[in-house]
Structure 1
Amino acid sequence: MSYQALYRVWRPQRFDDVIGQDVITTTLKNAIITNQLSHAYLFAGPRGTGKTSAAKILAKAINCPNKKDGEPCNQCEICKSITNGTLNDVIEIDAASNNGVEEIREVRDKAKYAPTEATYKVYIIDEVHMLSTGAFNALLKTLEEPPEHVIFILATTEPQKIPATIISRVQRFDFRRITSQDILQRMEFILDQKDMSYDDKALKVIAKSAEGGMRDALSILDQVLSFGADNVTYENALQVTGSVTKSFMNKYLHCVVNHDVKSALLNAQSILKEGKDAGRFIEDLINYCQDILLYQQSPDMVEKAELGLIDDDFKHLANGIDAKIIYMMITQLNDIQSQMRYTMHPDVYLDVLTVKLSNNHMESSNDESTNDDEKNQLKSQILELNNKVTSLEAQINEMTSKENKSPIQMDNQNVSKKENNKVKSKSSENKVNLTKIYPVLDNATRDNLTNLQNIWDELLQSLDVTKRAMMHVSKPVAASGEGVIVSFEYPFLFQKANSNTELSDSLENGLDRILGYVPKVVFVPSDQWPSIRKDYLMNRKNNQNESDHVDENLGNSSIEKNAENHDNNVENNSDDESAIVKKATDMFGADIIDVKND
């Protein structure tokens, strides 16, 4: 086979040829010059960033008899043999296919022997993270104390899978992704050396599609050359990479932002008709939206990252669109992208996405525009109703006081009964269901209450505007794993919430989504909550005392034992009180407990 891929032909042979890793190459050259070589190295980083190439260059540089300034000469027999892969003293091992204990034990045994031709015996283990646990253990001792003539170079794309005991025994170098500008310059150099014509925009598309990998960029360039018969054009680059032109994405987003659903759908369908990949189109849209956000903050940064591919249409769109809309679009694009991985009908998801992008942000903008007005209106209604309630309560108190001062007569008694019935009927509306509250208090803890308080704002944001305004004056006051007690500042809002099953369902659904379980929501008025809490604690104390009294009578019937219990009565009472205080502290926290001795 006469033809070789570009990434093989133009593989770096010197440290200066390694693109985008200046810090690493400078460090290795200085180590060679000063003869401060380590016994083991770890090269970690994304694919196609020069890890294996740097390992081979290092193997040549430490064994080359004619090295200069830390660089191999590439002319001697040792350098040529290492380049061709024929030198027995430089062993390359693919850990993906040789990951067993026996293979590593063989390496460990052969490492004891001195090199035959070179100065150092070098083991290059590629994709070292694929080794089994037993293989790592077999390699561990050799890495810790290798022979003086042996150097290990480990390369991996997933360093997090390597045991810490291995990493602590090597010098680690992290290879970073190569910038698009460096990839572009390297491709221009290669094509100039091959005396081929090319389109600058085509190379920029390839450099962006490579995502920081030099090998990926050269592979794509190979495909473009084959597709276009050695002609590197912008259209050919778009066809090979599956990318969509910037002008097309700008046109699509322009239709979406202006709520032109029909035109946006026609543009989306034309993408599929041209053979473009729907998933790649969504990925390009995400990057395009990201560039819009960055351009609104720092135009120079985007122009540098996009290699000058910023046109006037992009600038006009970026300056005319709200950042909140872009945030929402990116979220929807990410959701659809994750769903499209498991479907055989990407056109359906692309159409649904187009409709959502065209309509959803319009609805949200309308909601936001009316949100403040609705809040102000609800606040004014709340204040008005609160004033009415206050005046009615004052009238009721005044009428009650007059009835108490008047003579006792039959007619007056009938009138007072009627008024009392009215008051009772009104107070019955504020009556709380203790059978739902006490089970929550039985298992309530401070941790559960803290968790509810931490997510309370997030829960309210999930409600619609009306429910959110109603719950704005509420807060959780006690919580267990099975329920939560919510206190309302205004009694009439408590009545409204207590009779609104839709509100309870919305709250429980929101709690299920955030917490992962569904606690029962119970409402109480804030003015009744202190007395409810006090009554519960007193009932618990009385029940405990009665239980202790029964146990004492059953177990001690003698007069002497009763006298002893009578002498210790004060101590027992203090123990009971401590238990009640501890229970209250567990339920509500120490910062809200006020103990008063009657």
Structure 2
Amino acid sequence: MSYIALYREWRPKTFSSIVGQEHITQILKNQIKQQRIAHAYLFCGTRGTGKTSTAKVMAKAVNCLHPIDGEPCGECEICRGIDNGNMIDVIEIDAASNNGVDNIRELRDDVKYLPSKCKYKVYIIDEVHMLSTAAFNALLKTLEEPPAHIIFILATTEYQKVPATILSRCQRFDFKRISVPDIVSRLNTIAKQENVSIDDKTLNLIARSADGALRDALSVFDQCISIGNGSVTYEDVASMLGITTDEYLIKLADAVAENDASKCIILIDELINNGKDVYQFIKDFTMHFRDLLVCRIGGAAVDVLNISQETFDRIREQTKKFSTESIMRNINILSAAEADAKWVSQPRIILEMAVLKMCKKELDADLDSLLVRVAKLENIINSKGVNTVVNTVTQDNSDTVKDVAVKKEKPVKENKKPDVKKNKTVDNKQDNDQHFKDILKKWPDVINAINKEGHKILYSNIVQGKPAGLSDGALILEFKFGFVKKQVENSENKKIVEGYISSICGFDVRLHCKLVDEVAADKQQGDDIVKKAETIFGKDIIEVEE
């Protein structure tokens, strides 16, 4: 007899042998015992979670000649015929390759005929979401009111692609990803039956790599058995899957914690020389920092992580070397590297750049990096004091300090501020007109002085201003644009302008910046007040004072 793959040989034959889907199998068993069997079912879930296996067990259970508590007996003619695949009343259709309307029309014609041996004729349509729109429409009427001897079981990995009109005619069951402990337990049972020696740590690695799909785990396990003579080791599985061992991940994470970039590069070089897949390693390293984050948060972390107690203890010890902020920052860096590495021809460079960013916080100016650096400073201040902080920062950024020192050696032309003498303040309202005329006359000299003394940015802004009036010692300077006005009215710039006016014009003023519209509005308001005064007191007004 030819060899049969493990996932086929160990396909569940009863509801009780279906792993991790008790919330579904219990309902189906109760429906069979109570004779409340629906005419259409929809099984949804990711690959390898037991949808097709459950459909076949269901087909046996509803037709079994001697059911036991809702379970098929497995011994009668019907059960053996379905297990062997030669029962013509159980029809399995692959919708991916039979997705046309003609295929569904043929099915619709066949449902009229009674089953030959079974009580029910069961149609199992796998990957039903692959049917065309016309095929779905052709199936609608038959699915809504099928003959009494027909049961439809539809299976799909993408239920969102199934039309709502089909969903509403079926009883829907969602298959969960199978947990790591359940997969380990099943693999352990099979290993004992197959006389294979394998430890729980290795089984755990296989289970985690399966990502909730028991069929994937069985396929990997089947391949692993071929590596050794009756025994499977952790290193064999890691090598076959291209997965980096926990030892290597912990070693590289320690180098990151120590900010040892050169050690990280050496470890990555070893990784490449050992033939590991870089993209897979980035995913594994991301998951390692995710494990650190979960362990850092606390609670029942060992149950969430699904790792051995020995590995958990080492990860818990490593979390002391990282803050929560630094772990989250590293996850962000690795996630971005994972996305980039998928599309480049040299993913090694992406990995090395990511590790350098993780080691050298100063290379990154994002919020996470700043938070990490601030947290580090706070810890040093709390433990060692401010003087130590200065020394530490100087040591950590020695290159930067050297650059600054070199720059300081170069003579830098300082912006000169005007020599301001204490002048008379404009308080007398009668002098406003004369002083304003002086300012208008000497305004070009004020602007040129600002430019000559090196205030280039201030000059580029002040040149766009225009003196609009002088009132109670306040010089009104009007601007067309708000952002220019904002720059000039900065407290430091105002002092500079006021100083040059004082030194050139011989009297002190306060600078008050306004937009052109605001000046016009103030003038209009003043004219309105004069008109009201004329209305009340008459037009015999001698003088209007500002």
User: TM-score, structure 2 length as denominator?
Assistant: 0.72
Partner SS for 1:91: strand
Residue 399 of structure 1 corresponds to which residue in structure 2? 425
Closer/same/farther in 2, CA of residues 55 and 416 from structure 1, 3 Å limit: closer
> Which residue of the partner structure matches residue 218 of structure 2?
218
Specify the alignment match of 2:264 in structure 1. 264
**Counterpart AA for 2:232:** V
1:358-377 to structure 2, matched below 5 A, reads: 358-360=359-361, 364-365=369-370, 368=374
Using the alignment, how far apart are the partners of 1:528 and 1:315 within structure 2? 62
Unmatched runs of 5 consecutive residues or more in structure 1: 374-391, 435-483, 497-524, 539-598
Counterpart position of 2:320: 319
Q: Please, which moves more after superposition, 168-177 or 417-426? A: 417-426
- Indicate conservation of the 8 Å contact 1:181/1:307, yes or no: no
Deviations 1:118-155 (A, max 9, x none): 00111000000111111111111111111111110000
* Matched letter for residue 438 of structure 2: K
Task: Check whether the contact 2:196–2:225 (CA below 8 A) recurs between aligned residues.
Answer: no
After superposition, what is the alpha-carbon deviation per residue over 1:399-447, rounded to whole angstroms, capped at 9, x for unaligned? 3432x33599xxxx4x55334557896899568799xxxxxxxxxxxxx
Match in the other structure for 1:155: 155
In the other structure, the counterpart of 1:350 is: 351
Runs of 5+ unmatched residues, structure 2? 382-419, 448-457, 467-480, 494-510, 525-546
For residues 475-494 of structure 1, the aligned pairs below 5 Å read: 492-493=489-490
Partner of 1:338 in structure 2? 339
How far residue 230 of structure 1 moved from its aligned partner, in angstroms, is: 2.8
For 2:259, what is the secondary structure of its paired residue?
A: coil
Q: Do structure 1's residue 48 and structure 2's residue 45 form an aligned pair?
A: no
- Number of the residue aligned with 1:418: 438
2:93–2:126 contact (8 Å) kept in structure 1: yes
- 1:274 deviates by 1.1
Query: What amino acid does structure 1 have at the position aligned with 2:425?
Result: M
State whether structure 2 residue 59 is matched by structure 1 residue 59: yes
What are the superposed Cα offsets for residues 475-509 of structure 1, whole Å, 9 maximum, x if unpaired? Answer: xxxxxxxxx9879878534998xxxxxxxxxxxxx
CA distance in 1, matches of 2:92, 2:329: 49
Deviation at 1:188, TM superposition (A): 0.5
Higher helix share: 1
Separation of aligned partners in 1, 2:174 and 2:294? 27
The CA distance in 2 between the partners of 1:421 and 1:367, in whole Å, is 55
Aligned residue identity for 1:52: T
Return the offset for 1:349: 2.1
Q: In the TM superposition, what whole-angstrom CA distance separates every residue of 1:497-522 from its partner, at most 9, and x where no partner exists? A: xxxxxxxxxxxxxxxxxxxxxxxxxx
Q: Distance in 1 between matches of 2:74 and 2:432?
A: 121
What pairs with 1:122-161 in structure 2 (closer than 5 Å)? 122-161=122-161
Q: 1:194 deviation in Å?
A: 2.0
Residue identity opposite 2:230 in structure 1: D
Q: CA deviation at 1:357?
A: 2.0
Mean Cα deviation higher: 43-52 or 313-322:
313-322
* Letter of the 1:417 counterpart: K
Instruction: Choose 1 or 2 for highest CA Rg.
Output: 2
Contact 2:361 2:373 in 1 (8 A): no
CA contact (8 A) 2:426 2:432 kept: no
**Against the structure 1 CA distance between its residues 416 and 347, is the aligned structure 2 distance closer, same or farther, given a 3 Å change threshold?**
closer
CA contact under 8 A between 1:488 and 1:526: conserved in structure 2? no
Counterpart code for 1:281: F
Partner residue, 2:255: 255
Change (3 A) 1:407 1:103: closer
> Which residue matches 1:451?
none
CA–CA distance in structure 2, aligned partners of residues 200 and 236 of structure 1: 14
Contact 1:430 1:494 in 2 (8 A): no
1:279 aligns with 2:279: yes
- Matched-pair contact (CA < 8 Å) for 2:195–2:230: no
1:195 aligns with 2:195: yes
Match of 2:111 in 1: 111
Residue identity matched to 1:492? E
For residue 505 of structure 2, what is the aligned residue in structure 1?
none
Over the aligned positions, Cα root-mean-square deviation in angstroms equals 3.4
Q: CA deviation at 1:186?
A: 0.5
Query: Compared with structure 1, are the counterparts of its residues 371 and 354 closer, same or farther at alpha carbon in structure 2 (3 Å cutoff)?
Result: closer
Corresponding residue of 1:591: none
The aligned residue for residue 562 of structure 1 is: none
Q: 1:143 to 1:527 in 2, by over 3 A?
A: farther
The structural deviation recorded for 1:345 is 2.2
In structure 2, relative to structure 1, the CA distance for the partners of 1:265 and 1:115 (3 Å cut) is same
In the alignment, is the contact (CA less than 8 A) between 2:485 and 2:514 conserved in 1?
A: no
Contact 1:92/1:124, CA 8 A, preserved across alignment: yes
CA contact (8 A) 2:296 2:316 kept: no
- Say which SS state the counterpart of residue 122 (structure 2) adopts: strand
Change (3 A) 1:531 1:264: same
Aligned-partner Cα distance in 2 for 1:407–1:97: 94
Are the aligned partners of 1:90 and 1:122 in contact in 2 as well (CA < 8 Å)? yes
**How far apart, in 2, do the equivalents of 1:124 and 1:167 lie?**
16
Partners in 2 of 1:533 and 1:418 — Cα distance? 20
Q: What is aligned with 1:471?
A: none
Q: How far apart in 1 are the matches of 2:520 and 2:130?
A: 64
Aligned residue for 1:43, secondary structure, equals strand
Specify the code of the residue in structure 2 equivalent to 1:348.
I
Q: 1:526 to 1:245 in 2, by over 3 A?
A: farther
CA distance in 2, matches of 1:347, 1:405: 79
Query: For 1:129, what is the secondary structure of its paired residue?
Result: helix
Contact 1:291/1:302 (8 A) holds in 2? no
Give the letter for the 2:346 counterpart.
Answer: H
| Stretch of structure 1 that moved more, 295-304 or 91-100 | 295-304
SS in structure 1 of the partner of residue 153 of structure 2: strand
TM-score w.r.t. length of structure 1: 0.66
How far apart in 2 are the matches of 1:172 and 1:533? Answer: 72
Say if 1:107 and 1:268 are closer, same or farther in 2 by CA, change over 3 A: same
SS in structure 1 of the partner of residue 197 of structure 2? coil
**Aligned-residue offset at 1:319:** 2.1
Could you say if the C-alpha distance between residues 260 and 75 of structure 1 is closer, same or farther in structure 2, counting changes exceeding 3 Å? same
User: Residues of 2 paired with 1:172 and 1:247: CA distance?
Assistant: 44
Superposed CA deviations along residues 80-105 of structure 1, whole A, max 9, x for unmatched, are 11111111111000001111110011
Indicate the SS of the match to 1:153.
Answer: strand
Give, in whole Å, the separation in 2 of the partners of 1:127 and 1:162: 10
**SS at the partner of 2:73?**
coil
Q: What are the Cα deviations for residues 16-38 of structure 1, in whole angstroms up to 9, with x where unaligned? A: 11100010000100011111111
Aligned partner of residue 353 in structure 1, secondary structure = helix
Cα distance change, pair 533–64 in 1 and its aligned pair in 2 (3 A): farther
Q: Give the CA deviation at 1:253.
A: 1.2
Q: Which runs of 4+ in 1 moved over 6 A?
A: 369-373, 422-428, 430-434, 484-490
- In the alignment, the residues of structure 1 paired with residue 208 and residue 515 of structure 2 have an alpha-carbon distance, to the nearest angstrom, of 62
Superposed, which structure 2 residues align to 1:570-589 within 5 Å? none
Asked if 2 retains the 8 angstrom alpha-carbon contact of 1:93 and 1:126, the reply is yes
Deviation at 1:166, TM superposition (A): 0.7
Which residue identity does 1:349 align to in structure 2?
I
Local SS of the residue matching 1:87: coil
Cα deviation for residue 343 of structure 1 reads 2.6
Pick closer, same or farther for the CA change 1:492–1:137 going to 2, 3 Å. Answer: same
* 3-state SS of paired residue (1:155): strand
Distance in 1 between residues matched to 2:248 and 2:93, nearest whole Å: 47
What is aligned with 2:5? 5
1:145-184 to 2 correspondences below 5 Å: 145-184=145-184
* Aligned-residue offset at 1:231: 1.3
CA distance in 2: counterparts of 1:76 and 1:361, whole angstroms: 73
Q: Greater CA deviation, 356-365 or 104-113?
A: 356-365
CA 1:234–1:526: 2 relative to 1, 3 Å: farther
